[in-house]
């Protein structure tokens, strides 16, 4: 048994190739977007499936939203009611009430003309000593009452056409603004039960299915934008000084006829030992640093998380 183990070790060691300068092993990784609603509810419908490509604005899923829809209906009715109140206060008196005031005003003006004519006649008669002074005083009083009646009705007509007092109208307009804000909030809460995509990408995984209860903030699905696919590879500490952010890289991917161009986007400041995915003999028991590279969205869309790659870059010469 011991001889068999030694033989296998010899075969593995013999099969290990010497790493070419500037060539490193790595793997593709994705930074996923987890889509959730901040409200809880039963998952009513899924609008997507795994592997679907989606664009911003596409509907992803729907949670039960009967209560939120009813809240929108109530808010709409409340806003309509407050708007009717504002309109009613701005109108003033109704047409029928204004017509009554105008008729009374016309009657009062006719009585005023009659009182003025009677007063003028009484003055002439008094000058001829035909009537007593008391009759002239009575005619003058009647004229003054008719003038006051006409002035009062004219004031009522002016007030009736102005509408309600300004403070009442201001309070009604404030109620209208509050009702509009409540309607906007109700619509926003209803929209939260219908989640739409904010970015383009591919549906990577479904976490919940129709009929399941989804807690508030619990992701229903995950999607992968193409620009968030990156490569992780591991560089020995002896080569680290020759690498900088924005350095060009070329990823050798199985199935790709040509190397995939990219650039170094991140260099880990912390050393580690055996990389989590790479298990080649040449990297074991050596300090390595994780380096990340990114690719143009059109190129990254052809890559897949977990895919092994070899990364080639041109090391800078250091002294």
pLDDT the model gives residue 304: 87
Quick count: other Cβ atoms within 10 Å of Cβ 85?
19
| Spatial contact of 224 and 199, defined as CB atoms under 8 Å apart | no
| Spatial contact of 87 and 160, defined as CB atoms under 8 Å apart | no
pLDDT the model gives residue 245: 92
In a domain, 289, yes or no: yes
**Domain finish residue from 162, 177, 205:** 162
The total number of structural domains that make up the chain:
2
List pLDDT tens digits, range 236-275: 888 888 889 999 999 998 888 888 899 999 999 888 765 5
Q: What is the CATH number of the domain that holds 259?
A: 2.40.30.170
In a domain, 180, yes or no: no
When mean pLDDT is compared over 99-103, 170-174, 176-180, the highest value belongs to 176-180
Report the SS3 class of residue 37.
coil
pLDDT the model gives residue 41: 92
Residue by residue, DSSP assigns 268-317 as EEEEESS-SS---GGGTTS-EEEEEEE--HHHHTT--TT-EEEEEE-PPP
In a domain, 156, yes or no: yes
pTM: 0.60
**Residue of 78 and 99 predicted with greater confidence:** 78
Residues 234 and 308 in one domain: yes
Separation between Cα atoms, residue 19 and residue 286, nearest integer Å: 14
List pLDDT tens digits, range 51-72: 999 999 999 999 999 999 999 9
pLDDT band at 133 (very low <50, low <70, confident <90, very high): confident
In a domain, 259, yes or no: yes
**Domain finish residue from 162, 184, 199:** 162
Residues 96 and 19 in one domain: no
In a domain, 152, yes or no: yes
In a domain, 176, yes or no: no
| Spatial contact of 58 and 246, defined as CB atoms under 8 Å apart | no
In a domain, 290, yes or no: yes
Q: What is the CATH number of the domain that holds 107?
A: 1.10.287
In a domain, 150, yes or no: yes
Quote the percentage of the chain above a pLDDT of 90.
37
User: What range does the domain containing 236 cover?
Assistant: 3-31+226-313
């Amino acid at each position: 048994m011991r001889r068999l183990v030694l033989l296998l070790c010899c075969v593995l060691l013999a099969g290990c190739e010497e790493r070419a300068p500037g060539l490193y092993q790595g793997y593709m990784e994705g930074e996923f977007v987890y889509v959730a609603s901040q409200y809880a509810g039963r998952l009513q419908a899924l609008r997507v499936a795994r592997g679907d490509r989606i664009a911003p604005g596409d509907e992803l899923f729907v949670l039960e939203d009967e209560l939120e829809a009813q809240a929108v209906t109530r808010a709409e009715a409340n806003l309509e009611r407050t708007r009717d109140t504002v309109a009613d206060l701005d109108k003033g008196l109704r047409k029928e009430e204004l017509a009554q005031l105008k008729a009374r005003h016309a009657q009062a003006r006719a009585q005023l003309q009659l009182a003025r004519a009677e007063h003028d006649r009484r003055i002439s008669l008094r000058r001829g000593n035909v009537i007593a002074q008391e009759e002239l005083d009575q005619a003058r009083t009647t004229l003054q009452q008719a003038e006051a009646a006409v002035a009062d009705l004219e004031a009522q007509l002016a007030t009736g056409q102005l509408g309600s007092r300004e403070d009442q109208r201001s309070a009604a307009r404030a109620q209208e603004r509050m009702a509009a804000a409540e309607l906007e909030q109700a619509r926003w809460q209803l929209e939260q039960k219908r989640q739409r995509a904010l970015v383009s990408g591919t549906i990577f995984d479904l976490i919940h299915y129709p009929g399941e209860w989804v807690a508030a903030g619990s992701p229903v699905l995950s999607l992968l934008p193409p620009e968030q696919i990156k490569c992780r590879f591991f560089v020995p500490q002896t080569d680290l000084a020759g690498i900088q952010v924005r350095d060009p890289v070329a990823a050798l991917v199985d199935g790709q006829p040509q190397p995939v161009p990219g650039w170094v986007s991140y260099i880990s400041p912390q050393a580690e030992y055996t990389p989590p995915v790479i298990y080649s003999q040449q990297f074991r028991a050596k300090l390595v640093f994780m380096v990340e590279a990114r690719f143009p969205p059109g190129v990254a869309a052809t890559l897949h998380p977990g895919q092994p790659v070899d990364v080639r870059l041109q090391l800078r010469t250091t002294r």
